[in-house]
């Protein structure tokens, strides 16, 4: 059984052990695979593991021996699922491994806006407090979250975790998602999308990237938001129209944006959000705590074992 990992570095840059995966059979691990080398490296593999290397219809069609694709993530938009089904290729993902890490980063972004910890710590190091005439000073308004309204786009496991933390901080939580299911978290009110944009003091995106959600956050919807509101995105970059968001930030239509994802990663140097006002951007690290990556690797191995035992789990194809 030949296995190939196309891009293993972000999952395991050296602080985890590949042993449990290597024990399953002949396994070649590449740190990164450029698109021009995907076919060559994947040829002959029955099991192929990918994080961000795209496996489109053409690529899958040129790998006749391929039986299984394991996505080293929750989102599966890098794989043409319809083509995989037609070709009889089983595709699995890893759900829920990073829930609490993403929740944590969501609030790290928000809390940076509320007290500007990085800025004020830098100011102290620069002598600002030493030179101050008062025992305390601040360069930005300090924001208390208690009593503010948090809106959640999507209400899966991560959004529900965010909701619970927000409630613990005294925030009111509203949410929207596909379907008419009631909220699983007591005290959360389900509303329509426009109401969510209008009423939220903090709007946090936690939906998957689909044709329906691509560009969901755009000029029309941003215009509904309060000028004092903050936008957070730890889901997928293309959910936001980046030019529209940059325009809204530069025109002070909203107070700020905290983003862990962009439409193209790494971003081009001319991405308008890199220079937009009041925009915090982290390099797609919400998922990447060592604990989360360890869980991810464990589930990847369990998924392959299930497939080999004719008991596949976490199947998306």
Q: Provide the annotated active-site residues.
A: 236, 265, 284
Give the other-Cβ count within 10 Å of 17's Cβ: 11
Cα dist from 240 to 1, 29, 180, 229, whole Å: 41, 33, 24, 16
Alpha-carbon distance of 247 to 284, in angstroms, equals 22
Length of the chain: 317
Say whether 175 sits in a helix, a strand or coil: strand
- 314: Cβ–Cβ under 8 A, 6 or more apart, which residues? 92, 93, 94, 95, 299, 303
Q: How far is 72 from 304, CA to CA, in rounded Å?
A: 12
From the CB of residue 126, how many other CB atoms can be counted at a distance below 10 Å? 10
Output the six-digit token pair for 270. Answer: 């001319």
Q: How many CB atoms neighbour CB 317 within 10 A?
A: 21
Q: 152: which strand partners?
A: 175, 204
Angle between helices 99-115 and 157-168 (to 10 degrees): 40
């Amino acid at each position: 059984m030949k296995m190939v990992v196309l891009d293993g570095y972000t999952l395991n840059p050296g602080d985890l052990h590949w042993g449990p995966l290597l024990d399953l059979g002949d396994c070649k691990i590449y740190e990164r695979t450029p698109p021009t080398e995907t076919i060559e490296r994947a040829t002959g593999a029955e099991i192929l593991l990918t994080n961000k290397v795209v496996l489109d219809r053409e690529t899958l069609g040129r790998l006749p021996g391929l039986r299984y694709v394991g996505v080293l993530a929750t989102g599966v938009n890098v794989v043409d699922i319809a083509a995989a089904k037609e070709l009889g290729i089983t595709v699995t993902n890893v759900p829920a491994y990073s829930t609490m890490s993403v929740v944590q980063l969501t609030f790290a972004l928000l809390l940076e806006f509320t007290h500007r910890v990085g800025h004020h710590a830098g100011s102290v190091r620069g002598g600002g407090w030493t030179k101050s005439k008062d025992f305390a000073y601040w360069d930005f308004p300090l924001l208390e979250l208690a009593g503010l309204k948090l809106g959640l786009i999507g209400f899966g496991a991560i959004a529900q975790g965010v909701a619970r933390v927000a409630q613990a901080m005294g925030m009111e939580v509203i949410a929207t998602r596909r379907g008419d299911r009631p909220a699983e978290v007591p005290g959360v009110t389900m509303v329509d999308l426009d109401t969510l944009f209008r009423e939220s003091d903090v709007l946090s995106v936690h939906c998957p990237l689909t044709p329906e959600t691509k560009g969901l956050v755009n000029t029309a919807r941003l215009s509904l938001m309060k000028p004092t509101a903050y936008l957070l995105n730890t889901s997928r970059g293309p959910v936001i129209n980046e030019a529209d968001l940059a325009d809204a930030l530069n025109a002070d239509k909203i107070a700020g944006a905290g983003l862990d994802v962009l439409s193209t990663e790494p971003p081009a140097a001319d991405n308008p959000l890199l220079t937009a006002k009041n925009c915090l951007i982290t390099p797609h690290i919400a998922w990447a705590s060592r604990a989360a990556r360890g869980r991810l690797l464990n589930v990847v191995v369990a998924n392959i074992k299930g497939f080999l035992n004719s008991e596949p789990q976490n199947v998306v194809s």
